[in-house]
Amino acid sequence: MTSGTDRRPRSVLELTVMKAEGRRIVMLTCYDALFARLLDGPDVDVLLVGDSVNQVLAGHPSTLNATLDQMIYHAASVRRGTQALLFVDLPFLTYQVSVEEAIRNAGRVMQETGAHGVKLEGGAAMGATVAALVERGIPVIGHLGLTPQSVNTLGGYRVQGRDVSGAARLEEDALVLEQAGACALVLELVPTALAQRVSAALRIPTIGIGAGPGCDGQVLVLHDMLGLNEAFSPRFLKRYAELGGMVRAAAHAFASDVRDGRYPDAAHSFD
């Protein structure tokens, strides 16, 4: 339920207004209706159904074999639990092959999930694709820096833009994506000073993950932020809860009660 003090953006256009007013954008990933309902309120501005679901929930080592049907299933689930702005990752090879295929696949996402837009990875090479999607009424968030779908060509999950040429290329990519019509940019694993320069140069907001405090907003994977993904502990991650330990303790207590005959008791049984 939303409250009378709910100041979440009601349209994609409001993201630029939030940047102009100096209001930081709060984004979290989400993969299902249950968590979407818990997050549906004034605190979270945007929910992202990330292709990270392929790692976090499906247990794969990367995002590369995430499918469009998989993303649509999870995005439709999230949509049923929230009124927040909702964006969905386009998975690997659903938008890189051709502009026409990108339009078709992004259109499916919009039609079948009720999302407000899509997110895709890549810089200047994606400019024409972003422009084509926006021209057809599909809002796009870009993604620069560490782009997980390109992890094999980037040599692993590492900070991007540390050298002069890499920083210049990222700044140029950001400008191209803004000119193509992107409504926001995710900057992942980018040095703080570079992310701050890019943020200052753009009219559209930047949303950082491992990109320092100079971005216009921040995003984390919900399960990482809650401490459910215990094996994942990069430097940029701040855990706001330790639910992994709580889940394990609850399972242990349940097992003990069952084995010792304490559950179910009369209060949890029917006459």
**Active site amino acids:** 188
Under 8 Å between Cβ of 30 and 56: no
Alpha-helical runs (H) found in the chain? 13-20, 33-39, 53-56, 68-79, 99-113, 127-135, 151-154, 164-180, 192-201, 222-225, 243-259
Under 8 Å between Cβ of 107 and 88: no
CB atoms within 10 A of CB 159: 17
- The Cα–Cα gap between 68 and 74 comes to 10
